[in-house]
Structure 1
């Protein structure tokens, strides 16, 4: 069993520094704090002490997420940090499978979660009056849990994009979906519902599976190319997969947008560089608002209803 001395040795800090981090005290730099927590997470170390005083943790909020691969996380974290700093709170970032070890009222005043690996039942079990949780891009149907959701309003934005594509004359549609998240379900529903409203049937053979990473978009497009049945436009559930798909198409001398148009979702920095038509999500603002909503929950002034963020189309050169 790994202990405090082992954590301290791995992090190249003193045992007292590790103790200060785990007890939520402010006398540790952010980089050191994150390094200690990352090591605790990787080795599955759980801090079981119940001695943390209210003043130690009262100004600490944790943010857990599951994937460093997606660059928009930094924008979200920037927004959270600005809001929390303005209100005198510290932000601690946790990731990987042990994020749940830090989700308790002894360690922090509350949590913002964007981690699909943490199950709904676990969130319900820890989201108590003394430990509120703001969920990003996720809904939990449980009235007893002390949670609030901050969501992107995916459906109307996708409907608007697809209707504009229909108006441009596109008839045959392909889709690269992400993981079975609320985001993906709403984005796919926006596509199929809008097509149906225009008398266009979506062919399920044109649904390709990805995992939101660029490589999965590349592989999905490769499979689509091998079918010798290209759609007029390929709608992707995020920018990473769209960029991967474009690379695969270009390798086979299939021109974007002359031979096929491609769209994404997120408006990442990479999307702007690639000239990708996409839907822009205000990621900095979503982080700021998630932190603001959590502070209101901590102070007992928050409303229970989900907070929805609007998104907007960015037309670029990947649509003809």
Structure 2
């Protein structure tokens, strides 16, 4: 088990400060107290003591759990969460799925906001209790036992609008790079894509569906595979910006011009997408974070409804579509 000396080093404080925190003395600032407790929890130091001490910060602490890749995507979301919580005198602790189990319980925090597909529905149902409500930003869980509410992007109509715009521009041969199949985002985005093509009587060959995982490298690899067929689609629709950017890099390496030879679209409207001039769908990330925090606070007070809160998204037409 980690020693007090090592905790002090990790926290950047003296051993006496760690001792004061663990003994509940009030001569330590709140931020330092929480930092020390967080490190102790991460390293399994004296769980019984920590459970008691953590209760002192429970009443004003919220946990945000996110995936440990593409951290730039989360900055605006975190900003929105932080602003709302600060306005209501709550503190925010941010962690990835690797350490989530240390913080996802009512003895440490008052609730959590989750945007991480790697945490299973079963796990979230097991931790979402009346004394520890959970707001989900990437899925909807229908369970009477779980104290959850969803604040999610309304992917389907936004994707329908963008694909209809592509059809109206004369595109007929489409490709699609999807994200993780089990995620709600990918399911809704592909449904909007395929339904709009069907509505316009445009056939979509499943051989032009390529699997990715939302990371840039997967988009790059999908485009490399696509190019082997020597039969590129006219337009490639990607389930997020990272994969679209990866695909564009692969095309450029092989002297395939965007948008002259192939048009490309994304979804998210990241800063990198704006810099590249990527046609995409803009998600109100700051607002989604703020609303997620607001809904969580309402759940803590018992005033929140159970129906999902869906945020609208808008199409951004840029230079990657001719």
User: Is residue 7–residue 40 contact of structure 1 (8 Å, CA) maintained in 2?
Assistant: no
**SS of residue matched to 2:52:** coil
Question: In the TM superposition, what is the alpha-carbon distance from 1:315 to its structure 2 partner?
Answer: 0.4
The size of the alignment, in residue pairs, is 317
Post-superposition Cα deviations, 1:293-318, rounded to whole Å, max 9, x if no partner, equal: 00000111101100000000000000
Q: Distance in 2 between matches of 1:133 and 1:19?
A: 32
Q: Which runs of 5+ in 1 are unaligned?
A: none
Q: What is the match of residue 188 of structure 1?
A: 190
Decide whether aligned partners of structure 1 residues 150 and 224 sit closer, same or farther in structure 2, where only a CA change above 3 A counts. same
Change (3 A) 1:127 1:195: same
Residue 263 (structure 1) aligns with: 265
Contact 2:283 2:312 in 1 (8 A): yes
1:242 corresponds in structure 2 to 244
Q: Displacement of 1:39 after TM fit?
A: 8.3
Please report the TM-score for the alignment, with normalisation by the length of structure 1: 0.91
The residue that corresponds to 2:202 in the other structure is 200
* CA positional deviation for 1:4: 4.8
CA distance, structure 2, for counterparts of residue 311 and residue 232 of structure 1: 25
Q: What does 1:1-320 align with in structure 2 at a 5 Å threshold?
A: 1-14=1-14, 16-17=17-18, 20=21, 27-29=29-31, 37=38, 41=42, 47-48=47-48, 49-52=50-53, 56-180=57-181, 181-320=183-322
In structure 2, list runs of 5 or more residues that go unmatched: none
**Helix, strand or coil: the match of 2:51?**
coil
DSSP 3-state at the match of 1:304: coil
TM-score by length of 2: 0.91
In structure 1, distance between residues paired with 2:189 and 2:116: 19
Cα drift, residue 212 of structure 1: 1.1
* Runs of 4+ with deviation above 6 angstroms: none
Q: 1:17 to 1:282 in 2, by over 3 A?
A: farther
Instruction: Report how far residue 292 of structure 1 moved.
Output: 0.2
1:8: Cα distance to partner?
3.2
C-alpha distance in structure 2 between counterparts of 1:229 and 1:18, whole Å: 67
Question: Cα gap change, 1:267/1:44 in structure 2, threshold over 3 Å: closer, same or farther?
Answer: farther
How far, CA to CA, are the matches of 1:44 and 1:213 in structure 2?
Answer: 32
Q: 1:311 to 1:39 in 2, by over 3 A?
A: farther
- 1:70 Cα deviation after fit: 3.9
Q: CA deviation at 1:202?
A: 1.1
Counterpart Cα distance in 1 of 2:297 and 2:119: 22
